[in-house]
Structure 1
């Protein structure tokens, strides 16, 4: 009897010890591969699938991680082991004073990014349009590309830093100093560059490309800092800070500057006219002051140490490992093509409205009225994006955004001859507010999703990887759309000589510069076919088809994945 008891007890002890060893090894592997903060409680995997197999699935990015493809029992087990943070609803606690201070700091840092972006992507093209064709504006539009390609050097930002200054401050401080210096340089040379931009288009493109490049580098560091500045339960507010800061800086450089730069606006409202040189000098001083405060008065908390390889080579390997995940590849495809449906509206509609006679200061006023609604929309979108379905508001906002994009094309087509009535102007304001609200919901929603799935250990790189493809999806079509407007346009400059009408074909006749050249030879510019409508319609049709066929089903699958499915094991 005793021998049987011993034999019967021995296997139980062995199984118990094996279970204990398995839990121990599970905790150790999770501590390395998940890269979560140590303060976040972890629950050991208890499902029947061995831990090693599940971790291998995470590392290889197997499609079987998409929970909707699993059985009901397997879904329950996967959520218990890998995604418990999704089972329990996110507890909405009031913001702590530390989080509030962190949000103010993030808003200021994102504001400094938004100023040069508003110049390069907003006001400068409007100031140049009087002298440049759409094809030349397409060349200047290349200055926005660095903001969409920052992934290429983000590993350097994540890997190289001075410990005594701080991992993020080591880059934010010199980048902001460089931004301030570049704006000071442009302010001293603005008359030479802007008086005859057709002769300095390459220099203008180079200078503003450099400005956007430095701002993009600062953005990498700020995105990474946001993941550690805010507490875990309030990470979704990082996208709110980004929305408030970027939009404030962007609209200050776009709408506010365009309004105060207009002589008619200044005379009408009795305010001094603001020139580009003074505006740039002001923001140069702001950059210097904020950088000085960061250097001497803001201390950066040290991030938890890890055995992972955070060298430049190691981070590039990590990026490649992330990109090999099947669900990351699906997300990249969504980002690259999702914005094509309303790309023509964002690239050319405002320029077309100005061409039709809409005053720049009126356009600036319309967007300025829209600004507080965007801030409020960013706050609402952040609240909607918390919980188990962060991409739901992002998906819903596609429909009004596409619809208002097509409506904008019709507005351009039926645009009345100036002066426009107050009723039509009010209609334009309502259209702008609702359209931009849907854009804000999408921006905040997808940013909150990125924040949720990013690994804090390589936060700057991971966020930059995801944001790169988001930004690239809105940037890469712009060059081709502006080129397409000229390419598909058919314009004729009609000149009357000795009572005979002579038609001179001029593709540039669709721009104010081309019309001015036509007037110099005593002709009248007549546009027979405007390529804007062809390009806009093609984008809209593609946007509807791609949304229904790919974006919606893919997004629903992606948001079902647990957070750990987006992690890779760091070497």
Structure 2
């Protein structure tokens, strides 16, 4: 999938949604077909099965109960107690992986906003990049292990311990770092980048473990556990934490305020406890034939796929096609908070939006099936860019705080509709990736396609936030300058300039807000690129026969 984490108020929720959540490690053909889920069997899958040899088809068919020779699927047997325990373990592991993502992509930018410039926030945004680039080291995680410990536990247990230790380190130093974050941006970025990196590495190993942890007939539950765990962890660190961290909510409800240090210490203990638990969890030994291929061969496969002309066209389409709403994803929510929207109101809006996203994903699933899965993805570009334009107008005419109930309801409705368009595009692109992936190397193929989509979501964020400051013009206006001699300060964009202006008893007067310029540029580029490249390329690519996407190894 390509949900995995933004628009308008839901910038962080939908940015997480745009991060691929599907397994990313190289898999044997048998498990890759199980990984797709029995429910998704269609004409394309039947065509792809013809590429498998007799033994692989027989192994794939173990998960199917054929009735009367027509290939219909019977009702599944009740889930065994062992599988239930395995599903609980997977949910917990994915939950812990979602905690750092919720902090890095969700709550931390809003906590830091009052003390950092947009350029500094752009630096911190780099901490989320490792999750989109894990393809670069996933072959190593899948191939290097200690047999005595277990193929997956060799990575999961160390990653859990490192994640817990990093959380403990941050919790012990966060007060010092947050007292003056503008001088510790690099340090904050480094520790959160490391946290996301090790979480992404663990995610690779957990994806692989799910294939043997669950019985073959229940492998389709792996993606369910992944979705539940990662989303729960993400929204716990984003929505729930922002609400409990709010002084306003703490005083209103008479509950103690949850600090970031206490929150990180709690999850540090959870990570350590789960690591101890895993020491006593026996890992099934995978057959030699399913233990993966050499690291060198996997990288050769990736390079072979990248040399295909169709893949190169698809890469350009996904890497640059999302620029149209990149400014909205990266900066709109931050601008609304700057205008006076409370962080706890933002968290509530995202929480309300969450169930609508799940419902939307289920409703648009049927629309993305068939011969043209990219059709909904293409059609939704127009309303999504339109909602980005509406969001820019909302920021421009944002009312003075406090926000009225009616305006807040309007923001929530806008958030839900914007996220709905994002969900449609996610489902459409995922369906297309599933259709064109070569089943012989499906794990590598799907991983690469998801990486293109993830990069298209993540790479513009740094440039957008940097450009907002670069194109903003603000001067320090002295209200009472009877005792002031010299020129009025001309720089009132950076935090240092704003602080100096405040010391002089003035206030910053913004004569040109770079947010509007950057947003306009992104939308204009998005429309031009959509009309002249994305639309013709998408129709051409999805009209190609399936065998044109096959790789000759």
| Corresponding residue number in structure 2 for 1:348 | 331
Matched residue SS, 2:115: coil
Residue in 1 that maps onto 2:504? 521
Question: Residues 168-567 of structure 1 correspond to what in structure 2 (within 5 A)?
Answer: 168-225=152-209, 241-297=225-281, 299-300=283-284, 302=286, 305=289, 310-382=293-365, 384-385=367-368, 388-451=371-434, 453-454=436-437, 461-495=444-478, 496-498=480-482, 503-508=488-493, 514-560=497-543, 566-567=549-550
User: Can you give the 5+ residue segments of structure 1 that lack an aligned partner in the other structure?
Assistant: 1-33, 42-74
What's the offset of the Cα at 1:557?
4.2
Contact kept in structure 2, 1:486 and 1:507, CA below 8 Å: no
Distance 1:284 1:455, change over 3 A: farther
Query: Is contact 1:236–1:385 with CA below 8 Å preserved after alignment?
Result: no
Q: Scaled by the length of structure 2, what TM-score is found?
A: 0.79
Q: Is the 8 A contact 2:117 2:493 kept in 1?
A: yes
Distance, in Å, in 2 between the alignment partners of 1:112 and 1:240 is 16
1:371 match: secondary structure? helix
SS at match of 1:416: coil
Write out per-residue CA displacement over residues 225-267 of structure 1, whole angstroms, 9 at most, x where no aligned residue: 5667789999887666544433322221112111110110111
* Distance in 2, Cα, partners of 1:463 & 1:486: 37
How big is the shift at 1:174? 2.2
Match of 1:57 in 2: none
1:162 paired residue number: 146
- Cα 1:299–1:440 change in 2 (3 A) is farther
Offset, 1:538: 1.1
The more displaced of 116-125 and 457-466 is 457-466
Question: Under a length normalisation based on structure 1, what TM-score does the superposition of the two structures give?
Answer: 0.77
Please give the alpha-carbon distance, in whole angstroms, between the structure 2 residues aligned to 1:226 and 1:552. Answer: 37
In structure 2, the CA distance between the partners of 1:80 and 1:232, relative to structure 1 (3 Å rule), is: same
Pick which of 489-498 and 354-363 moved more.
489-498
In structure 2, how many angstroms separate the alpha carbons of the residues matched to 1:345 and 1:94?
45
Question: Relative to structure 1, is the Cα distance of residues 563 and 282 closer, same or farther in structure 2, using a 3 angstrom cutoff?
Answer: farther
User: For 1:273, what is the secondary structure of its paired residue?
Assistant: coil
- Superposed CA deviations along residues 143-196 of structure 1, whole A, max 9, x for unmatched, are 122222222212211221234554444323322222122112111211111111
Equivalent position SS for 1:145: helix
- For 1:494, what is the secondary structure of its paired residue? strand
Q: Distance in 1 between matches of 2:49 and 2:97?
A: 41
Residues 152 and 209 of structure 2 are in contact (CA less than 8 Å); yes or no, is this contact kept in structure 1? Answer: yes
How many residue pairs align between the two structures?
498
What is the distance in 1 between the residues matched to 2:284 and 2:371? 32
Hey, what's the Cα distance between the residues in 2 that align with 1:95 and 1:327? 39
> Take 2:372 and 2:148, find their aligned partners in 1: how far apart are those partners?
40
Q: 1:234 to 1:340 in 2, by over 3 A?
A: farther
| Residues 344 and 39 of structure 1, relative CA distance in 2, 3 Å threshold | closer
Deviation digits for residues 266-288 of structure 1 (CA, Å, limit 9, x no counterpart): 11123321110111122223333
Do the aligned residues in 2 keep the contact of 1:114 with 1:245 (CA within 8 Å)?
Answer: yes
- Matched position secondary structure for 1:491: strand
Query: What is the CA–CA distance in structure 1 between the aligned matches of 2:165 and 2:458, rounded to whole Å?
Result: 26
* Whole-Å separation in 1 of the counterparts to 2:32 and 2:116: 56
Please tell me whether residue 121 in structure 1 is matched to residue 122 in structure 2. no
> Matches of 1:90 and 1:528 in 2, distance apart?
68
**Aligned pair in 2 of structure 1 residues 221, 309: CA closer, same or farther (>3 Å)?**
closer
Q: Is the 8 A contact 2:28 2:292 kept in 1?
A: no
SS at structure 2 position matched to 1:415: coil
Runs of 5+ in structure 2 lacking a partner?
Answer: 1-26, 35-43, 61-69
Q: Highest Rg: 1 or 2?
A: 1
Secondary structure of 1:497's aligned partner: coil
Cα distance in structure 1, aligned partners of 2:257 and 2:267: 17
CA contact (8 A) 2:51 2:440 kept: no
Secondary structure at the counterpart of residue 421 of structure 2: helix
- Counterpart CA distance in 1 for 2:164 and 2:49 is 50
- In 1, are the aligned partners of 2:213 and 2:283 still within 8 Å (CA)? no
Q: Aligned with 2:114: secondary structure?
A: coil
Aligned partners of 2:440 and 2:280: how far apart in 1?
26
Sort the Cα spacing of 1:165 and 1:456 in 2 relative to 1 into closer, same or farther, 3 A: farther
